[in-house]
Amino acid sequence: MRTERKNIVVLQSGGCTQVINESLWGVVTGSQKYLPSSQVFGALRGVEGLISGSLTNLTNVCDSDWITVRQTPGAALGSTRKKLTDGDVQPLLETLERQHIGYVFLIGGNDTADTTTKISAAGRAAGIPLTAIHVPKTIDNDLVQTDHSPGYGSAARFVALATMGAGQDAISMGQASPITVIEVMGRDAGWLAMASGLGKRSSQDPPHFIGIPEVPICEELFVQIMSKAYTDFGFAVAVVSENCRGTNGILGPKSEPFLVDDFGHAYYEGPGKYLSNLLSRTLSTRVRHEYPGSIQRSFVENTSSPDRSEAELVGLAASKAASEGLTDSMVTLVRSSDSPYQCETGLTPVATVANRVATVPSDYHTPDTNLPTEYFHKYASPLIGSALPEFLRF
C-alpha cells in the first residue's frame, strides 16, 4: 500500500534571474499557507536533484535567512539545463516515493515547461498521483500565454541603463572610441535587445540600431545606419541579440555552432564581435564590443520592483492552484490595466507553453533600425520599475 503523498518539492531550472528566489519564496510561503500539513523540499540542481535524491528541507528555514535568500541573485537551490531522459524517470519517481511527494513545482522557462509535462506524464504512467505546476521565469521574456515573464523587467532595466551609459561613454571619448556594439542575451527573441531603447528620448540618444532574431540583419544597411549616426552625432551605439542572423544565415565566418545543449538549442559565436569588426574595417575607427553576459541577469542593484513583487506573486499563485487540485498548468501574468499598471495571475495548460516561443510583434519595432515604437514603450516601461535617469552634458 502506497503512503499518502502530501509533501512538496520545488526546483529551479535554466538561466537564472535577479528575482528567481522570490518565486522560490512564494512557493514555500504559499505552500505553508495553502498546504500547511506538507513538508517542502528543494531539489538541488533542479531535476538532477530529483534524479539523485539530493533534496534539502525548506520547511523550517528561518525568516532572517529567507530575507537574505530573496535578495540573492542566481538560483538558491542551484539550477540545471539537463533534459529529462527515459533512463532518468525511475530514479526520479523513487525520490518522490521515498519522500512522500505529491506536489512538484518547477520554476523555469520554455524547457522547464517541457520537463513539467514529462514528470506529470511519468507519474500518470506509473499510477502515481502528482500535481505538477510550472512557475514562469526567464529574462528572455519568450514564454507564450503570459503577458510577460518574471525576470524580464529587471534584466530589461539593466540593458536600458547599460545602453544609456555606453552612449555617454562613447560621446565623451570622441575619436578615441566613438562607436559601441553591445551584445545582449535573447536566444530566440529580441525582447531584451528591444529594452535598450527604453531610455532613448531623442534621435541622438542611444541606441541607433537594434538587432533582433526576428529580423535578419542586412550588413550593408547596418553599416549605413551606424555611419549616419556617427556622422550626425559624433558617436553611434548598436545593441544586438546574441543569436541575430544575417540575410544569408549566421553572421560571421562560422556556420557550425560551438555548442548544442541537451534541448537542441544551438549557440554560435556572438554576432556582436563580428559586427564590431565590420564597422571598424568599414569606417576606419575604433569600435568597442561590449558583452555583459550573465551580469545582465544577476546585477541586483538594477532589480525592478514590479519584477520582484510579481516573481513572488507567481509562486504564491502556484501553491494556491495546487491546493485547489489543479495540475499540468503554468501560472501566467495577466495585465489588467496599463494606467495605472496592474497585473494579476492566471493559469494556462503547460502543454500549450512547452517548446514554443513568444517573439516580438512587428508593430513593436520600426523598419530598418528596429528601434522601439510607442507600443513597445507602453508594454515594457511599466515592467522596469522606477523612471530611468536623465543625463546632462555641457
Helix 110-125 vs helix 86-98: crossing angle, to nearest 10: 70
DSSP at 176: G
Report the distance separating Cα 298 and Cα 383, nearest Å: 17
- Strand-pair partners of 345: 333
Report the distance separating Cα 284 and Cα 292, nearest Å: 25
**Catalytic site residue from 88, 140, 147, 328:** 140
Is 140 a known active-site residue? Answer: yes
Number of H helices, E strands in the chain: 11, 15
Report the distance separating Cα 307 and Cα 219, nearest Å: 36
* Residue 280 identity: S
- What DSSP assignment string belongs to 82-125? PPP-HHHHHHHHHHHHHTTEEEEEEEESHHHHHHHHHHHHHHHH
How far does CA 201 lie from the centroid of its chain?
A: 26
* Residue 19 identity: V
- Strand-pair partners of 347: 331
- What DSSP assignment string belongs to 326-394? --SEEEEEEEEEETTEEEEEEEEEGGGTTT---PPPGGGB-TTT--B-HHHHHHHGGGG-SPPP-----
The residue whose grid cell reads 552625432 is 233
Catalytic residue numbers read 140
